Structure 1
């Protein structure tokens, strides 16, 4: 592999990719990769055509509602989306997952299958390791989210909300600067 010819298998493994999923709005069923099915405690034989409600039962309630809402909206507009969800705790604890996908939409026929990839964020959210590294990772994540919020709020035409997001972004910038000064480290 070279920088100009990436190996997808290695790239997926390096990003904690759990595999693909697909949602069919007409049957209200979701297909899960075997690894994703295992994390959601779904029998492997049910993974190819699982009722959405059964898959959502393995997810924290507020995250399940948000994911279901995003799935339905993606089918209406055909847009890209990503959502972070938490699985319900089991023997091995809860997991943080990021599902990314694109809604399928046919202007004449309406919603079509929505497909995407799932990633396990649990390791990235771990709070062990050196304190300075953990705090810096946390500040970097906040900065990423603040940047995303600034981009999203711009289209809402809500100046008071935009000011609040700007204030949050400035405070996060100060926190990130403190982390960098304290650790004399580069941003990860």
Structure 2
């Protein structure tokens, strides 16, 4: 593979992609790749149509509620989404996973399905780097999330919330500046 001739299998291998998934909102069932099923403690025999509640039981409680809400919203608006969540400690330890996907209707049957890819982010969250490097990565992620919040709050027409998000974005900017300048001093 070169930068000008990307190879899909190599790209997937280097991306922490652990497979595909699909959610049927009508039956509230999931179809999971074998690796994702294992990480969510879903028996292999059930991976082709597990109840959503079975997969959610493997997640930290607050993340399970949020993921269920994200899947419901995806089925309603059909927009692309991504959601990160933590599994409860198990044989593989706690894991950080990300689902990315979108909903759409099957052109032949008209059935609504939400589907996408799953990624294991756990290795990127383990403290293998220096404390300074890890803090820089956290500041960068905060900046990404602040930018996403600013984009999302605009459509809500909620000025008090927009002001709060602006304040958060400014503070995140200060934090990012501290890391870029290599100092922990206050920047205001």
Normalising to structure 1: TM-score of the pair? 0.88
SS at match of 2:62: helix
3-state SS in 1 of match to 2:59: coil
2:186 is aligned to none
Name the SS of the counterpart of 1:182 in structure 2. Answer: coil
SS in 1 for 2:21: strand
Structure 1 stretches (4+) deviating beyond 6 angstroms?
none
Measure the CA separation in 2 of the matches of 1:72 and 1:10.
33
Deviation track 1:156-188 (CA, whole Å, cap 9, x = no partner) reads 2222222221121111111111112118xxxxx
Q: Aligned equivalents of 1:155 and 1:134: distance in 2?
A: 33
CA contact (8 A) 1:77 1:105 kept: no
SS class of match (2:5): coil
Whole-angstrom CA distance in 1 between matches of 2:19 and 2:166:
36
Which residue of structure 2 aligns with residue 18 of structure 1? 18
1:33 positional shift: 0.4
Aligned length: 181
Aligned match of 2:57: 57
Query: Which deviates further from its counterpart, 143-152 or 37-46?
Result: 37-46
Cα separation, 2, equivalents of 1:26 and 1:171: 42
- The answer to whether residue 136 in structure 2 is matched with residue 144 in structure 1 is no
TM-score w.r.t. the length of structure 2 is 0.88
- The separation in 2 between residues aligned to 1:72 and 1:125, in whole angstroms, is 28
- Asked whether 1:164 is paired with 2:168, we answer no
Structure 2 stretches lacking a partner, 5+ long = 184-188
Please say which of residues 11-20 and 139-148 is displaced more in the overlay. Answer: 11-20
SS at match of 2:100: strand
Q: CA deviation digits over 1:56-86, x for unaligned, max 9?
A: 1111122111111221221222221111111
Question: Which segment is superposed worse, 20-29 or 141-150?
Answer: 20-29
Q: Is the 8 A contact 1:136 1:179 kept in 2?
A: yes
Mapping of 1:20-169 within 5 angstroms?
Answer: 20-105=20-105, 112-169=112-169
2:69 is paired with a residue whose SS is: helix
Residue deviations 1:125-173 (CA, integer Å, cap 9, x gap): 1234211101100100000000101111111222222222112111111
Aligned partner of residue 5 in structure 1, secondary structure? coil
